[in-house]
Amino acid sequence: MTKQLTLALLAAGVLSACSLAPKYERPQAPVASAYPTQAGERNGDATAIGWREFFPDQRLQSLIATALENNRDLRIAALRIAEARALYNIQSADLWPSLNATASGTRARTPASLSSTGSAIVGSSYQVGLSLASFELDFFGRVRNLDNAALAQYLATEEAARSARISLVAEVAKAYLTEQSLAEQLDLARKTMESRDTGYKLAKQRFDVGASSALDLRQNEILVQSARASLATLTRQRAQATNALTLLVGKPLGDLPQEKTLAEQTIVTDIPAGLPSDLLARRPDIRAAEQRLKAANANIGAARAAFFPRISLTAGIGTASRELSGLFDSGSQTWSFAPQLVLPLFDAGRNRANLSLAEVRNNVAVADYEKSIQIAFREVADALAARATLDELIDAQRLVAEAQSARLKLADQRYQNGVASSLDVLDAQRELFSAQQTLIQARQLKLTNAIDLYRALGGGLKETSEGPAAAQ
């Protein structure tokens, strides 16, 4: 009868639990319904484009695949998931009663002065059975809300790991392009230095025979040393870029496919952006912020439940005997049943403060969620704004470099014919080098902008595209 009563109370406690948590409602997105530069923009889903299709360069694909396997930040994110899962399992265990098998034995001597018989007594007691530890009947949803909060935190950690994976793919690609850009600028600086060194030697010969002034010689020397300084700077920057790429990849670089120049890269640059509302479902960082908001909402329910009575059960059943051999004899059964009700009367405002804390943290989570949406909106809007002008920038800079090259040829011809001074040639050389460097940087900017847009739209989580329409 006692066993049936206990089971009935447990079932009632689990099945009749209510929740005092506020009804969750997703906050309104604090952004416009369309991007500022989205006139005529077609809908699409960047998350459906796998990174192998987005980055056709096999060398870059190999670097990304290696980074996804070896990057330590990504490993830490995976371990954070395991940690959050364990914490959730610990919390969810409170929803169920804990049964323990117990066995005890006692042997004690009572002196004659304390014995009722007037002589010393040696007594024994043995007991085995099952015990139910203090189990809370969750009538007001305190335990259930704590479990929901732990689950939401676990899901938020999973989403954070997905966001870290997306960021890693983008950062490896950008680091690779940075290293390639510096390699091209370094090659340009090396060729420029060789050319200027040759010019300096010719100027030195002309100066030695009195065909030119010391001013012309010093101007050529300045150009040579400037090129030398640029070469040293770019050498350092490329080495540091390689180190940064190695750190992201997680292992030394080696056995990689043939590299491509920036002009040869065919990264997908025309990605459809869709609508800002799509970011709520496609950005893992936004989904993580929403899960944290749900956890904060559930914690309010747990804080409210602390104001109500807490009912817990402790019970045990087994056998007991003075002799070890008599533990399972007829009539040796024992049981205990100890329900407990605790009603908070005075706690110096502790429960009220805990509820206020939960409400404030919920407000913080709302602001964090809204900020995540605003950041995502800005990242997409910035990338779209840049994409609209980068093609024109590259075309204009290419024409500038071509014009500077033609200018240098004309200036050199005029100088050889005695029509122009050497200063015109030297100035044309400086301008050509600067224009060529800027063109390389503009090409890198276009590619990195495409990567930023791809990441901002939630792309990079999948390795391959899904379906024939994914790459349209």
Crossing angle of the two packed helices 350-416 and 422-456, in degrees rounded to 10: 150
pLDDT tens string 3-37: 554 554 455 454 445 778 899 999 999 998 888 87
DSSP string, 29-70: P-S-SS-TT-TTPPP--GGGS-HHHH---HHHHHHHHHHHHH
> How far is residue 158's CA from residue 451's CA, in Å, rounded to a whole number?
23
Largest CA distance in the chain: 137
What pLDDT does 77 receive?
93
**3-state SS class at 340:** strand
Distance CA 149, CA 147 (A): 5
Residue with tokens 């700077």: 233
Tokens, residue 441: 């940087």
- DSSP summary character for residue 316: E
* Cα distance between residue 455 and residue 452, in whole Å: 5
H or E element that contains 83: helix 72-92
CATH number of 16-97+139-307+356-456: 1.20.1600.10
Instruction: Phi first, then psi: give them for residue 48, nearest 5 degrees.
Output: -80, -10
Contact between 226 and 193 (Cβ < 8 Å):
no
Instruction: Let me know: does 201 contact 223? Beta carbons within 8 Å.
Output: no
Alpha-carbon distances of 411 from 28, 197, 414, 419, 420, rounded to whole Å: 63, 18, 5, 9, 7
What's the pLDDT score for residue 107? 84
- For 326, which DSSP code? G
Contact 59, 180 (CB under 8 A): no
142 contacts 266 by C-beta, under 8 angstroms: no
Q: Determine the 3-state secondary structure of 310 from DSSP.
A: strand
Ramachandran area for residue 120 (φ above 0: left; ψ -120 to 50: alpha; else beta):
beta
Beta-strand (E) ranges in 289-391? Answer: 310-321, 333-342
- Distance of CA 259 to CAs 171, 224, 263, 359, Å? 18, 30, 12, 55
The DSSP line for 209-238 is TTSS-HHHHHHHHHHHHHHHHHHHHHHHHH
Least Cα distance to 54 among 450, 467, 468, 469 occurs for 450
Q: Give 201's contacts (C-beta < 8 A, 6+ positions apart).
A: none
Q: What are phi and psi of 43, to 5 degrees?
A: -75, 155
The pLDDT value given to residue 471: 37
What is the Cα–Cα distance from 88 to 129, expressed in whole angstroms?
A: 30
For residue 468, what pLDDT is reported?
43
CB contact at 8 A, 26 and 287:
no
Q: What is the dihedral of CA 287, 288, 289, 292, to 10 degrees?
A: 120
d(CA 204, CA 187): 26
Q: Give the type of residue at 399.
A: L
Residue 328's pLDDT is what? Answer: 79
Question: Tokens 């009572």, residue?
Answer: 110
Q: How far apart are CA 271 and CA 465, in angstroms?
A: 14
| pLDDT by residue, tens only, the chain of 472 residues | 445 545 544 554 544 457 788 999 999 999 988 888 765 456 678 889 999 999 999 999 999 999 999 999 999 999 999 999 999 999 999 888 888 998 888 888 888 777 777 788 888 888 888 888 888 888 889 999 999 999 999 999 999 999 999 999 999 999 999 999 999 999 999 999 988 888 888 888 888 888 777 887 888 888 889 889 999 999 999 999 999 999 999 999 888 888 888 989 989 888 888 888 888 989 999 999 999 999 999 999 999 999 999 989 898 888 888 887 777 778 788 888 888 888 898 889 999 999 999 999 999 999 999 999 999 999 999 999 998 899 999 999 999 999 999 999 998 888 888 777 778 888 888 899 999 999 999 999 999 999 999 999 999 999 987 654 343 3
Q: Which residue has the tokens 């005529």?
A: 40
| pLDDT at residue 3, as a whole number | 53
Give all strands (DSSP E) within 65-184, no chain letters.
99-110, 121-137
Which tokens sit at 354?
Answer: 């805990």
- The count of residues in the chain is 472
d(CA 331, CA 329): 6
